[in-house]
Amino acid sequence: MMLSRASLFVCQGDRMWHFAISVFLIELYGHNLLLTGIFGLVVAGSVLLLGALIGDWVDRNPRNKVAHLSLFIQNVSVTICSIVLMLVFSYKKRIEEIWDGWLTVVCYTVVIILADVANLASTALTIAIQRDWIVVITGYNRGHLAGMNATMRRIDQVTNILAPLAVGQVMTLASNVVGCGFILGWNLMSLIVEFIFLSRVYRIVPELSVKPPVLEHQSCLEKTRERKSSDGRRSECPPAGVSEENTTSLQSQEQSRVPPCIHRLRVLLSTCREGWRAYYRQQVFLAGLGLAFLYTTVLGFDCITTGYAYTQGISGSLLSILMGVSAVAGLLGTVLFTKLRKACGLVNTGVISSGLHLGCLMLCVCSVFTPGSPMALGVLDVRNVSDVGGMAGGQQRHGYPMRVGSNLPLLPDRSSIHWTNNTVLFENAPSGTEPESYVSIILLFLGVITARVGLWSFDLSVTQLLQETICESERGVVNGVQSSMNYLMDLLHFLMVISAPQPHHFGILVIISVLFIFTGHTMYFLYARKAKRKPRIET
């Protein structure tokens, strides 16, 4: 119960900040998406590169130290970033006049770096709490673990709706400066509350203070490195008369010749390499990789899908209703997970959830070929590249008017946008964007919403498989690499959109997304088949 309260404050703060920073970056750069794109690239790239190092740090240190330090770094980074944003918004014109405008660039850089540090700390906290603490607190009881995982996901789903609404209303009714101040105050308050809750949980559950002794249960990375070094010493077959102490002294002398920075870099690179190898060696490797493939999709309630809906004549009020229905579907997915796990077992729950997810997404595929779909395969022809904005010669595959040579933007001017739940909701849709039929867009959102049930049930299944099968000494590093894989596949999804940004390309993106999702679920099916055959072999 205490851990759930702490997670509620953590999720609320994270969701508020992730929503607000995107809006703030757009406001800073003259209603342009450049800073937002750079920020997304920096965040994804940093987790991709440092995920294994973060997980290894979680494994090596006491649980209370990891949680408290991650919490402190995250909240302090957000607090300082909010102060910088308040100063920039308040004195923007004056700052632009200093150093010929270079001070503005410095401020942008500081904001992005601080926000990235906060995200890295949040990643470490998520790995520590949701992948390690929760397993120990439930006493390794699979039933209790499933219930706790479902509760955590419900908290995440609810805050995903409420947090952006709260900060969005403050920014709309007041100003960006007040919005920054609101987030600053929330982080300072939540830092104290979360610190108290986590400390009490740590005291209430004595098992959290017990980690495998360093000498007996070293992390997987240390064991691998020691095994390699010992194998290397054996294969070298040192000449007679050379003792082990002499060999060790020679190695230390060689290390002393290398500059400390180079030696440290080698250690970090070795840690990353061994972390990815540890991830690959896991029994649930295919299941985790399959989950990562699900991140390469445009079939979700982000600015891409809702921006496309805007071009198809869907109003902001209707989108907000659809988002609420989607949140309810996600909550149903957590309920379905707990019921199926009790009735069918964890592995079979993942299989059933995969089938449900893919079945619902077939509605999205059908939407590409039904009346009202703007998809035109001809626009991808090399001869039509110069006419990507308006369809060469004004020929169209759909009924709603599109002026020749005009780029219909996915994101219009900021004045017509209401920011809600990390999604762009458009009120003043331009006239003449209504399709000839709404069958396509109805099937699209029907598939996206209903698929959330199977998606979250599948996500919880893989999450619990990772919790149950990964040994305690490498739980952090493997989940760190899993986060890196998730961000890598998410980067591919943005590259897809950059390559095909227009509304009449969206059908292609839907088909590619379903192919990636199908590949991910196929990997899970292979894992499930292997997991079911293993008990038979052992018996």
Average pLDDT, integer, range 513-529: 95
Q: What is the mean pLDDT of the chain?
A: 77
Average pLDDT, integer, range 510-530: 94
pLDDT score, position 449: 93
Which has the higher per-residue pLDDT, 383 or 532? Answer: 532
Q: What is the pLDDT of residues 258-270, one digit of tens each?
A: 677 787 788 888 8
Residue 238 has pLDDT above 50, yes or no: no
Which has the higher per-residue pLDDT, 38 or 346? Answer: 346
Within 8 A by CB and 6+ apart from 148, the residues are: 3, 134, 137, 138
Average pLDDT, integer, range 492-511: 83
Q: What is the pLDDT of residues 405-440, one digit of tens each?
A: 333 333 333 333 333 333 333 344 444 456 677 788
The helix (H) or strand (E) run that includes residue 426 is: strand 423-426
pLDDT score, position 381: 45
pLDDT score, position 415: 30
- Tell me which residue has tokens 């850089």: 109
Residue 113 has pLDDT above 70, yes or no: yes
pLDDT score, position 363: 93
Q: Which of 24, 21, 76 is nearest to 187 (CA)?
A: 76
pLDDT score, position 429: 43
Which domains, from first to last, does the chain contain? 1-209 (1.20.1250), 283-379+435-532 (1.20.1250.20)
**pLDDT band for position 94 (cuts 50, 70, 90):** confident
Average pLDDT, integer, range 298-315: 75
What is the C-alpha end-to-end distance of the chain, expressed in Å?
A: 40
The helix (H) or strand (E) run that includes residue 437 is: none
* 3-class secondary structure per residue, 484-535: HHHHHHHHHHHHHHHHCCCHHHHHHHHHHHHHHHHHHHHHHHHHHHHHHHHH
Specify the range with the lowest mean pLDDT, choosing from 61-65, 226-230, 490-494.
226-230
pLDDT score, position 435: 60
CA dihedral 180, 184, 185, 189 (to 10 degrees): 150
| β-sheet bridge partners, residue 69 | none
